[in-house]
Structure 1
Amino acid sequence: MTIIAASGTVIAAAALFIVLSGFAGLKNFSLEFSSFVDPDLKVFPSEGKSFVISEDDALKINAIPGIQSYSKTIEERVILEFDGKKQIVTMKGVDENFTKVTTIDSMIYYGNWLEHGTNQIVSGGGISNKLSYGVLDLTRNQKIYVPKPGKGQITSVKGAFNSVLAYNIGIFDINVELNNEYIFANIETARYLLNYDENQVSSIELKLDATADEVKVSEALKTVFGNRANIKNRAQLNDALYKMLNTENMAVYLIFTLVIIIALFNVVGALIMMILDKKASINTLFNLGTTTKEIRRVFFLQGSLMTVLAGTLGLILGFVIIFLQQQFALIMLTPSLPYPVEIKGINFVIVIVTIFVLGILASKLASQRITKDLVKS
């Protein structure tokens, strides 16, 4: 009975560590895609869709220590047309520094990145599939429409829109959402379509040095822009994704904690069976002068020791399995992609604390079955 109870605790501890490590790997796997398109810091207007960055603002940004590079961007919803098919997409106009701030160009699986000073675009794979176009089709072009700002009655369709002819030169693959939503263009193209001034932008995206203090850089940027703009880091830009992943992580932990609680019922049962089996020996100890409290303590320590040893063995077993997965890719998501796992110190602490606390409580519960009536009978 003791072996069975201990085995259940070993398996439960190993399962908890494996699940936490697997979820940590999936979390990082999901978040790493945001690093391809999201900057370290992003400055965007506190009101409206755009703000003006003056030459004085640019000089102050360049003077902030810790900023490696920054890029001006213009973002807006547009109508993209090709061969009679239309789709509303998000166009992001970027300058030549954008590839220094993000690594979006590394996600292009067909074609190339934008050439500065052209009306070229780079599209998500989902958009290119839906509109049925490829790369560098010089016989046919994409057309981008944006409604003109202003008031009054529209007298003609031509007068209601700004438009440019563009050529797709690259297709990127990041995730389903971005692939179906975004196209990238040169900032001059976006500026023309939206009638923006030379220094008018939708956002400024920044790349920081590896040793930069993100908080200090953010405070310096707030000093530059004041109430005109807000600053967010990568986690804040993906706050919904972070909240969802953290919630799922907590849910997984609670579910497997319940599994551990169920496994520890075996420990309680084993201790109670042992108490009943050793009833005569307990009675002898009591008659020799051992108090009920001391007898309880014996079984409490036995149960606690069994739980601690079983939990430690389970933790070691889980670590070995995760290590083997990292080294030899035992389980694959696809033929070329191993199931992502990550060994984190916090997961060791979570498993140890969970097993030890619940095991001690289970042992305490079982030892309380020893009463004066039991030891005297």
Structure 2
Amino acid sequence: MYFLFAWRYFKAKKSTNAINIIAWVSISAIIIGTTALILVLSVFNGFEGLVKSLYSSFYTDIRISPASGKIMTITQEQINQLKGLNGIKNFSLSVEEKALVQNGESQSVVYLKGVDDNYRYITGVADNLLSGEYDIGTSDAPKLILGAGVEGALQMYSDQLSAPLKIYLPRKSNTEQINMLEDISNDTISSSGSFRIQQDFDNKYGITNIDFVKRSVKLGIDDYSFVEILVKDPSEADNIKKEIKKLFGDKYIVQNKYEQNRSLYSIMNAERWVIYGVLCLILVVAAFNMIGALTMLVLEKQKDI
């Protein structure tokens, strides 16, 4: 009954059309704003999930890196300690170095990532192959898996994947003077395939055998750039990270997936809050207009009360 009276007065002809216009504009703004808020946040959450899944194909749950410099020492005892930790499903040792790859007249600077056999089981690279096969070869006969962007920069095609490439790597040196003959390694390597994950990785990385990279840059047997870890339960990643930090000490940086991509996640969170804030501001303005329209309606009908 009360609703019928309210609706009768709301629809009744006013002394001015301004109240009617403001009321309907306010109602429309609230409906559209609320719908837009739900849709935009839903789409953004879906987009965020897609981006996270793409980055998860390359980054692992936990990564150990050197606190200073590019190379750290990981002893067999430390490897055994990792194997003994509960919650760790698998891990991979890797070495990363910038290299110049040449295919005929085409050249490209890549981040050459030397990995062991476990790497294919802790990342999604093998599941995102664009062409060829996942094969990193051996120390004496290495194979190279290129990002799709690097493959394009080198003007390589599917029928040329087996063509030998020239690769130049800086060797580890104890002197500040550079001797081009001694401090730069020059090898040939065959491409076994290419991957496509996300542009940041596709345009930068090439993956090959870790022993080949260590031999080329003259690293020691216990020298590595990263230890990349896959955990059994991602919700326990932070607890496992704390245990690893206790075992390894301050000479190593232990990061979870969020910390490895801090800038990406920070930007995405900031974008979400900006969108939420703008749409909420629209709803607040519409609500004030609605309150104003109702106030004017009450004042107009006060004589009937």
Q: TM-score per shorter chain, which class?
A: 0.7 to 0.9
Distance 1:269 1:252, change over 3 A: same
Report the count of equivalent residues.
281
Deviations 1:301-339 (A, max 9, x none): xxxxxxxxxxxxxxxxxxxxxxxxxxxxxxxxxxxxxxx
Do structure 1's residue 122 and structure 2's residue 122 form an aligned pair?
no
Distance 1:273 1:89, change over 3 A: same
Do structure 1's residue 238 and structure 2's residue 258 form an aligned pair?
no
Do structure 1's residue 5 and structure 2's residue 26 form an aligned pair?
yes
Do structure 1's residue 151 and structure 2's residue 175 form an aligned pair?
yes
Alpha carbons 1:136, 1:169 under 8 Å: kept: no
The whole-number CA distance in structure 2 between the counterparts of 1:7 and 1:181 is: 49
Map of 1:214 onto structure 2 = 237
Report the CA distance between 1:46 and its aligned residue. 0.8
In structure 1, give the amino acid aligned to 2:149: G
Distance 1:136 1:225, change over 3 A: farther
Map 1:18-97 → 2, pairs under 5 A? 18-97=39-118
Whichever of the two has the greater Rg, that structure is 1
Alpha carbons 2:130, 2:148 under 8 Å: kept: no
1:172 corresponds to which of 181, 195, 202: 195
TM-score (norm 2): 0.86
Distance 1:198 1:21, change over 3 A: same
C-alpha root-mean-square deviation of aligned residues, in Å? 1.9
In structure 2, give the amino acid aligned to 1:21: S
Q: Secondary structure at the match of 2:69?
A: coil
The whole-number CA distance in structure 1 between the counterparts of 2:264 and 2:234 is: 26
The whole-number CA distance in structure 2 between the counterparts of 1:23 and 1:54 is: 44
Report the CA distance between 1:116 and its aligned residue. 4.1
The whole-number CA distance in structure 1 between the counterparts of 2:111 and 2:161 is: 23
In structure 1, give the amino acid aligned to 2:185: N
Report the CA distance between 1:82 and its aligned residue. 1.3
Report the CA distance between 1:121 and its aligned residue. 0.4
Alpha carbons 2:165, 2:189 under 8 Å: kept: yes
Structure 2 portions without partners, runs of 5+: 1-19
Map 1:298-337 → 2, pairs under 5 A? none
Report the CA distance between 1:138 and its aligned residue. 7.4
Q: Secondary structure at the match of 2:233?
A: coil
Alpha carbons 1:96, 1:116 under 8 Å: kept: no
The whole-number CA distance in structure 2 between the counterparts of 1:201 and 1:59 is: 16
Do structure 1's residue 194 and structure 2's residue 217 form an aligned pair?
yes
Report the CA distance between 1:255 and its aligned residue. 1.2
Distance 1:37 1:211, change over 3 A: closer
Map of 1:344 onto structure 2 = none
Greater helix content = 1
Report the CA distance between 1:29 and its aligned residue. 1.4
Q: Secondary structure at the match of 2:175?
A: coil
Q: Secondary structure at the match of 1:73?
A: strand
Alpha carbons 1:137, 1:167 under 8 Å: kept: no
Map of 1:106 onto structure 2 = 127
Map of 2:35 onto structure 1 = 14
Deviations 1:126-150 (A, max 9, x none): 1111111235737741111112324
Map of 1:310 onto structure 2 = none
Q: Secondary structure at the match of 1:33?
A: helix
Distance 1:211 1:183, change over 3 A: closer
TM-score (norm 1): 0.70
1:225 corresponds to which of 248, 252, 258: 248
Q: Secondary structure at the match of 2:221?
A: coil
Q: Secondary structure at the match of 2:192?
A: strand
Q: Secondary structure at the match of 2:99?
A: strand
Report the CA distance between 1:8 and its aligned residue. 2.9
The whole-number CA distance in structure 1 between the counterparts of 2:215 and 2:37 is: 56
Alpha carbons 1:73, 1:94 under 8 Å: kept: yes
Map of 1:264 onto structure 2 = 287
Map of 2:6 onto structure 1 = none
Alpha carbons 2:161, 2:191 under 8 Å: kept: no
Report the CA distance between 1:31 and its aligned residue. 1.6
Deviates more, 1:219-228 or 1:90-99: 219-228
Alpha carbons 1:162, 1:193 under 8 Å: kept: yes
In structure 1, give the amino acid aligned to 2:300: D
Structure 1 portions without partners, runs of 5+: 283-377
